[in-house]
Structure 1
Amino acid sequence: MIPSHTKGIICCLLATVSWGAMFPIMTDALAHLDPFNFTTLRYGIAGLAFALLLFCMEGSKGFHLKGERWGLAWLFGTFGFAGFGFLVFWGNISPDHPER
């Protein structure tokens, strides 16, 4: 069993590498895909991965809504996560971008 300190360091390293790799990958991907499709693909894959992780950890009970306002949470989550990514990627390919 991995000690929690080591597990924390591995998780931090994984997060750092993931965030650091985002922009070089994005630069190459945006040469072939527009920002909307890139963001949709990126968050669609991540959403499926997290849904699978939730199912593995909690089972089907993890998907029960228990009367919460899921539509509003979904809307704000979409704007917060996908909206941020879309604006970053859109700004990277705009004609006003310094590298263009």
Structure 2
Amino acid sequence: MTKPRHAVLEGTRIPRLQNPDDSRIEAAVRTLARESVVVLSETNDDNTYIQVWQRPDGLYQLEHRAGSPLEHFQTVTVSADKVHAAFTAWLDNDEGWADPFTWKPISELF
């Protein structure tokens, strides 16, 4: 079994919080306002994270980066439940956390 990550939760309307529990993550995702962002990043590595932005059209733009700019990916979903599940599974280091989505690389944007 893989060890959970040590992480920091922060966002547009969320103060920085070390090692958030599931209820804090769920609240951050469910109360996300349009054009706001929530980021969950590894404590000692700002280049390894999962983040979500609720676009003006209401869709959730989910991104993750696994260290380098070449490992930056994006997907879109209508489901806050799926975003919450992805954040929680990512934090738990669940190997299949990204499987429910179709990801596209966006490294060329950086």
Alignment TM-score, normalising by the size of structure 2: 0.24
The structure with the largest strand share of the pair is 2
Alignment TM-score, normalising by the size of structure 1: 0.26
Comparing both chains, which one has the higher relative contact order based on Cα–Cα distances under 8 Å and sequence gaps of 6 or more? 1
Structure of larger gyration radius: 1
